[in-house]
């Protein structure tokens, strides 16, 4: 068997053939995939139906061999029993890769059928995603997800790649990424991963110039595969984030019935990830927060945070969350506190609490926050600043996000912000996002952004 080498035709195809398009059922998965790419993406796409003919004025090709020119990616959405024959036709036609959307393989006990299609693809040296997957989403380029476009919310183009065994989890995360303003370079659903697995995608994404952060939703590794993965992740030179399912006995059983994955011992998994500097997200909130922070900053921190706020209660909550995670919030030295106080406006300079958290009070104006962040950014006492901003304070304007981001650009010390995510505060939020400063809609999320930078350092 040949080992597939080039994944670019699979992950960034120039031409796509969609096999299984129906002449009668417009909601068939293959039809949804064809129309989305034909009408909304830049990839050249062709519809394949063995009976040929036309569909809404578009030619239906009887097989992949009939499609004009080279097919980079064949997307297969037919019944499981028909997949081996279709895949063999694709191989004979010289298709460079395939994504098998169809289910009905190892996840329902048909290991024999899955082994058969794996052998066909491997013999042809043809990279194959799936089966039982959604395939790929490359923003503005190609989209093999069979979900109707009016029901999908997609992130903008960005620098985070997301790989998932579960198509449903992948779509959920894409919605959350879009809401948080986290852009994607690529999203890949691997399903049963009969051929293309996490390590193959990690190798590709490590070399991908468009990808800065690589995130995985993992249900399980094969025997010995997990160890090889963490060694590869350690050497990737990019932040790697993993969200693992199957932490409990019941979760392990659910994972096995979903994609026929071997979940393994979670405690061993978690310990090994930390040793090799792989950032483990414990839940979806952590995954989104970690991806957002590491898409902006990729250098690990020791985790000494200055908390800056206009509300003592917000500062206290942030300190509690930092303490829970092991993030230090050291008290400012008297010299640093005096430097901060010296540049504050009246009456803020006389009432501000300058320990840590630093409470500028509800009387603070933009200039107070800018001065405080600038002074803290020059200090070696902390290595990041956690901003808890309340847009409803009378002295705070919509320009504050952009002004604080300008301090970051000059000084280089990482910032992480909390701003309530409401449309009326959009200008303030965009001031951060457009300048690559991560901003969360919750205090916990902002603290997790600091935690991401701390965790990406090996133990």
User: Are both 417 and 430 inside the same structural domain?
Assistant: yes
Q: Which of 274, 296, 318 is the last residue of a domain?
A: 296
Residue 355 vs residues 255, 374, 395, 413, 418: alpha-carbon distances, Å? 47, 16, 22, 19, 20
Residues 70 and 126 in one domain: yes
416 domain-assigned: yes
Which secondary-structure segment (H or E) carries 305? strand 305-309
220 and 209: one domain?
yes
Question: What one-character DSSP code corresponds to residue 304?
Answer: B
pLDDT of 218? 94
Whether 95 and 13 share a structural domain: yes
101, 132, 163 - which closes a domain: 132
Residue 147: inside a domain, yes or no? Answer: no
Asked, for residue 236, whether it belongs to a domain, the answer is: yes
Inside any domain, residue 267:
yes
Residues 307 and 448 in one domain: yes
Query: Helix 284-296 vs helix 443-455: angle between axes, to the nearest 10 degrees?
Result: 60
- Give the chain's residues under pLDDT 70: 1-5, 246-265, 457-459
Asked if 66 and 126 sit in the same domain, the reply is yes
Q: Are residues 303 and 292 in the same domain?
A: no
Q: Which domain holds residue 213?
A: 153-296
What CA–CA distance (Å, rounded) separates 101 from 112?
18
Residue 190 is assigned to a structural domain of this protein: yes
Asked if residue 392 and residue 266 are part of one domain, the reply reads no
Residue 272: per-residue pLDDT: 84
Q: Directed axis angle between helix 225-234 and helix 198-207, to 10°?
A: 10
Q: What is the DSSP string of 393-448?
A: STT--TTHHHHHHHHHHHH---EEEE----GGGHHHHHHHHTTT--EESSHHHHHH
CATH number, domain of 22, equals 3.40.50.720
- Sign of the CA dihedral running 31, 35, 41, 45: positive
> Which whole-number Å values give the CA distances from 193 to 82, 135, 217, 259, 305, in the listed order?
19, 11, 13, 9, 41
412 with 431, same domain: the answer is yes
Same domain? For 320 and 420 the reply is yes
Q: What is the CATH number of the domain that holds 354?
A: 3.40.50.261
Query: Are 262 and 185 in the same domain?
Result: yes
Give a yes or no: residue 441 inside a domain: yes
CA–CA dist 444, 446 (Å, integer)? 5
pLDDT at position 440: 96
Is 139 a domain residue?
A: no
Picking from 310, 338, 334, 306, the residue whose alpha carbon sits closest to that of residue 322 is: 306
Q: Last residue of a domain, which of 261, 296, 331?
A: 296
141 assigned to some structural domain: no
The predicted pLDDT at position 247 comes to 66
Q: Are residues 319 and 409 in the same domain?
A: yes
Query: Phi then psi for 128, rounded to 5 degrees?
Result: -130, 125
**Other C-beta atoms lying within 10 Å of the C-beta of residue 181:** 19
Number of domains in the chain: 3
């Amino acid at each position: 068997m040949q080992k597939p080498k080039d994944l670019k035709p699979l992950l960034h195809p120039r031409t796509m053939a969609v096999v299984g398009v129906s002449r009668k059922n417009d909601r068939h998965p293959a039809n949804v995939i064809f129309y989305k790419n034909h009408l909304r993406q830049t990839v050249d796409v062709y519809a394949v139906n063995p009976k040929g003919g036309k569909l809404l004025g578009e030619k239906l090709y009887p097989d992949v061999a009939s499609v004009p020119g080279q097919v980079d990616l064949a997307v297969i959405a037919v019944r499981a029993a028909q997949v081996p024959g279709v895949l063999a036709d694709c191989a004979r036609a010289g298709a460079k890769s395939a994504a098998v959307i169809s289910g009905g393989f190892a996840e329902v006990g048909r290991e024999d059928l899955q082994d058969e299609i794996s052998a066909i693809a491997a013999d042809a040296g043809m990279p194959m995603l799936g089966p039982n997957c959604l395939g790929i989403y490359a923003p503005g380029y190609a989209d093999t997800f069979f979900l109707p476009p009016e029901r999908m919310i997609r992130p903008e183009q960005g620098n985070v790649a997301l790989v998932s065994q579960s198509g449903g989890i992948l779509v959920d995360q894409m919605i959350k990424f879009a809401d948080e303003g986290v852009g994607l370079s690529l999203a890949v659903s691997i399903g049963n991963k009969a051929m293309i697995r996490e390590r193959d995608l990690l190798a590709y994404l490590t070399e991908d110039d468009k990808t800065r952060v690589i995130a995985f939703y993992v249900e399980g590794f094969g025997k010995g595969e997990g160890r090889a993965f963490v060694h590869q992740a350690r050497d990737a030179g990019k932040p790697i984030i993993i969200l693992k399912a199957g932490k409990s006995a019941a979760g392990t059983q659910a994972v096995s019935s979903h994609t026929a994955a071997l979940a393994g011992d979670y405690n061993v998994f978690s310990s090994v990830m930390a040793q090799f500097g792989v950032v483990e997200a414990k839940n979806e909130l952590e995954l989104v927060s970690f991806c957002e922070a590491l898409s902006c900053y990729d250098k690990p921190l020791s985790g000494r945070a200055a908390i800056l706020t206009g509300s003592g209660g917000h500062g206290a909550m942030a300190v509690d969350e930092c303490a829970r995670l092991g993030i230090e919030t050291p008290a400012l030295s008297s010299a640093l506190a005096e430097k901060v106080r010296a540049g504050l406006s009246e009456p803020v300079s006389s009432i501000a609490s300058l320990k840590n958290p630093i409470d500028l009070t509800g009387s603070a104006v933009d200039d107070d926050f800018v001065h405080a962040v600038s002074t803290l950014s020059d200090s070696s006492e902390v290595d990041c600043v956690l901003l808890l901003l309340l847009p409803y304070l009378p002295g705070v304007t919509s320009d504050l996000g952009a002004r604080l981001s300008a301090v970051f650009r000059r000084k280089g010390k990482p910032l992480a912000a909390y701003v309530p995510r409401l449309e009326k505060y959009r200008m303030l939020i965009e001031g951060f996002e457009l300048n690559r400063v991560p901003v969360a809609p919750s205090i916990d999320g902002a603290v997790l952004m600091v935690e991401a930078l701390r965790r990406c350092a090996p133990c």
